[in-house]
Structure 1
């Protein structure tokens, strides 16, 4: 079974999925997951902790998907992106059924970026740095 075959919500379901994930993981913890660019450092920290703790990628699927939805939602709220369902060719290349389209038309894969950070770790896969160097974003107030 490929990663695309594992259930991931469609584009129209991603915002509520991210919102529910944040509510669930912050219910018992005081994690500052507030959809700010700064909060992507928290996501980096959480992924590093999962990896160092020896989490299996398949068992961590729901958490990785939730964090990917959260990262995508930061792109939607802060960079002007929109969630999109990917076509067959895009799915084959990106390994995910959904992504985000930036204002300049570029497609990015936040779920894949989260999996990469989990798998490889290190500053080269930082989600915070990914946002800061992201092409095609618009600037929005930090509200």
Structure 2
């Protein structure tokens, strides 16, 4: 996957990052990573495992990118979002190079949400809760897109 700006991912690559993560995560385990909102519980569980295992951000960088890409791809496939490259101001605010834009125009930061969950482990940082309380979703959940 091609990366620019010192290794920062681009919006056009995030689906591939998510698919690669799913491939790695399910190679030896039967994790139900099917891009459904309910599968975000697994993401929470995996992040909590990293946290309890003492993973630091540098060692876990690829895994965290994969988890954030997966969470964002759930928003793309189920809530009508699209991946976007953040502009300079958004990168400064969110601390991430990419995010998702919802049908109502709001921009969200699933990569940052994964980071916050790892740092705090707090229930309010749950990726499932993030999805369920997200403003700007399409009115009805969309079926998964292959």
What is the TM-score of this pair, normalised by structure 1? 0.93
What's the CA shift for 1:84?
A: 0.3
Other-structure match for 2:122: 122
Cα RMSD between the aligned structures?
1.2
> Cα–Cα, structure 1 residues 8 and 31, in superposed 2: closer, same or farther, change >3 Å?
farther
The answer to whether the aligner puts 1:43 opposite 2:43 as a matched pair is yes
* 1:40 match: secondary structure: helix
Query: Is the Cα contact below 8 Å between 1:8 and 1:65 reproduced in 2?
Result: no
Cα distance in 2 for partners of 1:121, 1:6 equals: 28
What's the CA shift for 1:13?
A: 0.8
Mark the runs of 5 or more structure 1 residues left unpaired by the alignment. none
Other-structure match for 1:105: 105
Other-structure match for 1:58: 58
Other-structure match for 1:91: 91
* 2:83 match: secondary structure: strand
Mark the runs of 5 or more structure 2 residues left unpaired by the alignment. none
* 2:37 match: secondary structure: coil
| Count of residues in correspondence between the two structures | 139
What's the CA shift for 1:6?
A: 5.8
- 1:10-89 equivalences under 5 Å are 10-89=10-89
Query: Is the Cα contact below 8 Å between 1:100 and 1:107 reproduced in 2?
Result: yes
Query: Is the Cα contact below 8 Å between 2:17 and 2:65 reproduced in 1?
Result: no
> Cα–Cα, structure 1 residues 124 and 67, in superposed 2: closer, same or farther, change >3 Å?
same
